[in-house]
Amino acid sequence: MNQLKLPPFDAKISGHDDKTVIWDPVRNKWVRLTPEEHVRQAFVSYLVHYKGFPLSHIANEQTITLNGMSRRCDSVIYDRCGAPRIIVEYKAPEVSVSPKVFQQISCYNLVLKVDWLIVTNGLTHYCIRMDYSTGSYTFLQDIPAYDSL
């Protein structure tokens, strides 16, 4: 796997049915280890261990309905009251974070209307703060800590 620009984490990796799998503590199951999944697990670990996000408030592969079609957000983070606050979109390290990726996460946000959008390929991380009162957004320099949501 590529070296990511995230703190090291204790990944549980195993072989299963001739495939390499990684333990997802959010979904509480083994999942196929792809470059995108490696980014997801590293980023979730970062959120939990460095930004204070409760693991129980993160949902991976969260299903939403967009224009009558089922879609899956890579991760959705909820506040203490159970309201969605952040959508995270992961890409493999070799995939550039392009305007198409921002369009994808923006479409998901039409449904969830969260306050923050995060896009990462494990090497480059973007965090956007939505301002619905002005219809604008701001790129932040850092990912907010959970307590500041």
Q: How many beta carbons lie within 10 A of that of residue 40, not counting itself?
A: 25
Neighbouring-strand partners of residue 116: 86, 129
Please give the domain boundaries of the chain with CATH numbers for all domains. Answer: 34-141 (3.90.1570.30)
pLDDT for position 18: 84
Of all residues in the chain, what percent carry a pLDDT higher than 90?
95
Residue with tokens 């979109």: 89
β-pairing, 84-90 vs 116-120, is parallel
Supply the pTM of this predicted model. Answer: 0.95
Q: Dump pLDDT digits (tens) for 38-82.
A: 999 999 999 999 999 999 999 999 999 999 999 999 999 999 999
Of the chain, the end-to-end C-alpha distance in Å amounts to: 32
In angstroms, the CA 93 to CA 34 distance is 11
Residue 101, H or E segment: helix 99-112
15, two tokens: 């072989």
Contact 138, 129 (CB under 8 A): yes
Indicate the average pLDDT of the chain. 95
* Average pLDDT of the segment spanning 5-33: 93
CA distances for 45 relative to 23, 50, 53, 59, 81, angstroms = 12, 8, 9, 13, 22
